[in-house]
């Protein structure tokens, strides 16, 4: 903690995201560590002892077990008692079509994991007829990715049956303006698209940036600091008027980018390789 009272030395670092949680983490520069260690090494002994003593006192004061526990205790004690009559138990076990699947080598365990965590069917084991059916498909050469996509689609369909969501409910009512960037697929196109988001935000700093892709590519955008919200792609988004509106329809976004229409729908950029570029690439 580089606060004055902490008697600490600042270290240079680079930001990265923890996979899965998308927590912001710090990767400390080795050169910076070496530089500060050299400062401590050359520091007079009396000053090193003085800084160490003050730093220890500051750490105990702010992060000691007793002090932190006291903060938590005071917070809990100030909270109102729960009125259990107002608490309704949710017995519905909602499916999770976006549950992240770890690397499981065994096919049977992999299938069971998807049943338990995507479809929330905790009673399924290797003796279940559905489990045995998919094991048979795998033995015939079925691809894991196709089976996983099927499980995720079933989870989405089941969730949609239980709750119909209006498109307006997917949008932030506090937006001052909205921009949407639609790129249904593929992983490569979506990843390359992320290089444009900073420029879009710089151009429209007051507008919220929405990005729409197919559900299987959602993870590519998690943790991106420029994306306000992700929305699952729907074919109706191919209609620019539906997104931006006209005199008969207000639309949902102020600006919509649909770059995939020129690459994934109708090719219009080949030109037999005879394009003449008007700007320098150097």
- Is pLDDT above 80 for 279? no
pLDDT of residue 164: 61
Q: Are residues 257 and 171 in the same domain?
A: yes
Instruction: Clarify whether residues 175 and 252 are in a common domain.
Output: yes
* Same domain flag for 112 and 131: yes
Answer yes or no: is 142 within a domain: yes
Return the pLDDT at 91. Answer: 55
Return d(Cα 214, Cα 159) in angstroms, integer: 16
For residue 217, CA distances in Å to 183, 184, 214, 230, 232 come to 10, 8, 6, 10, 9
pLDDT at 270: 73
Nearest to 17 by CA among 219, 268, 252, 247: 219
> Is 270 inside a domain boundary?
no
**Same domain? 186 vs 248:** yes
DSSP code, position 106: S
Residue 83 has pLDDT above 60, yes or no: yes
Residue 280 scores a pLDDT above 80: no
For residue 252, pLDDT beyond 80: yes
Q: What is the mean pLDDT of residues 77-104?
A: 80
Same domain, residue pair 171 and 253: yes
Mean pLDDT value of segment 92-106: 86
Same domain, 133 and 210: no
Question: How much of the chain, in percent, has pLDDT values that exceed 70?
Answer: 93
Is-contact 220 203, C-beta < 8 A? Answer: no
Number of compact structural domains in the chain = 3
Check residues 163 and 214 and name the one with the higher pLDDT: 214
The pLDDT of residue 263: 79
What are 1-32's pLDDT values in tens digits? 577 788 889 899 998 887 767 788 899 999 99
Assign residue 230 the CATH number of its domain. 3.40.50
Give the ranges where 5-44 is alpha helix by DSSP (H): 30-42
More confident residue, 84 or 246: 246
Q: Are 282 and 262 in contact (CB under 8 A)?
A: no
- Cβ within 8 Å of residue 214, ≥6 positions away: 184, 185, 232, 233
Q: What is the pLDDT of residues 25-76, one digit of tens each?
A: 899 999 999 999 999 999 999 999 999 999 999 999 888 998 899 999 999 9
Query: Which domain, by its residues, includes 118?
Result: 107-162
pLDDT of residue 208: 96
Give the residue with greater pLDDT, 277 vs 221.
Answer: 221
């Amino acid at each position: 903690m580089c606060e004055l009272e902490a008697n600490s030395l600042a270290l240079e670092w680079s930001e990265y995201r923890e996979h899965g949680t998308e927590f912001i983490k710090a990767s400390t520069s080795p050169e910076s560590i070496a530089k500060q260690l050299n400062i401590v090494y050359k520091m007079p002994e009396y000053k090193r002892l003085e800084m160490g003593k003050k730093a220890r006192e500051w750490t105990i004061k702010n992060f000691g077990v007793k002090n932190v526990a006291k903060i938590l205790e005071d917070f809990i004690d100030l909270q109102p008692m729960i009125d259990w009559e107002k608490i309704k138990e949710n017995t519905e076990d909602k499916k999770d079509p976006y549950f992240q699947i770890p690397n499981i080598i065994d096919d049977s365990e992999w299938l069971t994991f998807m049943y338990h965590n995507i479809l929330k069917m905790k009673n399924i084991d290797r003796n279940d007829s559905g489990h045995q059916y998919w094991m048979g498909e795998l033995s015939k050469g079925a691809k894991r990715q196709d089976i996983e996509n099927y499980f995720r689609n079933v989870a989405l369909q089941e969730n949609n049956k239980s709750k119909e969501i209006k498109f307006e409910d997917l949008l932030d009512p506090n937006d001052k303006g909205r921009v949407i960037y639609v790129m249904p697929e593929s992983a490569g196109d979506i990843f390359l698209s992320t290089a444009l988001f900073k420029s879009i935000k710089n151009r429209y700093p007051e507008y919220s940036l929405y990005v729409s892709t197919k559900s299987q590519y959602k993870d590519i955008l998690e943790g991106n600091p420029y994306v306000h919200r992700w929305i699952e792609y729907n074919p109706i988004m191919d209609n620019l008027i539906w997104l931006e509106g006209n005199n008969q329809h207000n639309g949902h976004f102020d600006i919509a980018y649909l770059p995939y229409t020129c690459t994934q729908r109708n090719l219009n950029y080949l030109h037999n390789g005879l394009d003449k570029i008007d700007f320098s690439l150097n």
